[in-house]
Amino acid sequence: MIVTRYNPYGDRQMRKGFEMLNTLMGSLENSIDEGAIASFVPAVNTRVDDDAYYIEIDLPGVKKDDIEITAEDNVLTVSGERKMREELKEDDYYKVESRYGKFSRSFTLPEDADPEGIEAHMQNGVLEIVIPKRKDIHQVKKIDIK
């Protein structure tokens, strides 16, 4: 009996799906200002199914009026600001771990994404962005020979 090692990434479709997710995740560099230390970098989760791509961004304490979402040249950008509740005074706090400040995350949209159908919903400090897939992108057209 020959034993072969199973490679979960050997399947072409699965590999393509992971490549799309990596593209969708974008670059962490987009969320850090040039030469500055990142003050608030929201956590991002992405997933995909047959109908759409989903981006979930943890934005605790951020009001939806302080968030801007744009789609331009096949790039989706989410930016905004997590504002301090009050000015922090060193005498009032023993330790401060909460992060505040402006943030920006950009995601390259996959080829089959439909930017016109993008929707966003905010609930319990989580922003969910739904990017529908275009159905017509993979249609094969048969061409008759004359």
Please give the structure tokens belonging to residue 115. Answer: 């930017």
Task: Give the pLDDT score at 116.
Answer: 93
Q: Pick the residue with more confidence: 101 or 33? A: 101
Strand partners, 53: 48, 131
Task: Give the pLDDT score at 113.
Answer: 92
Cβ distance 76 to 45 under 8 Å? no
124: pLDDT strictly greater than 60: yes
Q: Pick the residue with more confidence: 90 or 45? A: 45
- Structure confidence by residue, pLDDT tens digits, 18-75: 666 666 665 444 444 444 444 789 999 999 999 999 999 999 999 999 999 999 999 9
Block residue for tokens 């393509």 = 16
* Exposure b/e, 6-27, CB count within 10 A at least 16 = b: eeeeeeeeeeeeeebeeebebe
What 3-state class would DSSP assign to 41? coil
Cβ distance 39 to 94 under 8 Å? no
Cβ distance 115 to 33 under 8 Å? no
Length of the chain (residues): 146
The pTM of the full predicted model, rounded to 2 decimals, is 0.67
The DSSP output letter for 134 is P
90: pLDDT strictly greater than 70: no
Query: C-alpha angle with apex 34: 127 to 37, nearest 5 degrees?
Result: 70
Q: Beta 52-58 vs 67-72: how paired, if at all? A: unpaired
111: pLDDT strictly greater than 60: yes
Q: How far is the C-alpha of 67 from the C-alpha of 49, rounded, in Å?
A: 26
Task: Give the pLDDT score at 96.
Answer: 72
Task: Give the pLDDT score at 32.
Answer: 44
14: pLDDT strictly greater than 90: no
Q: Which domains can be identified in the chain, with CATH numbers? A: 26-135 (2.60.40.790)
Task: Give the pLDDT score at 138.
Answer: 64
What 3-state class would DSSP assign to 128? strand
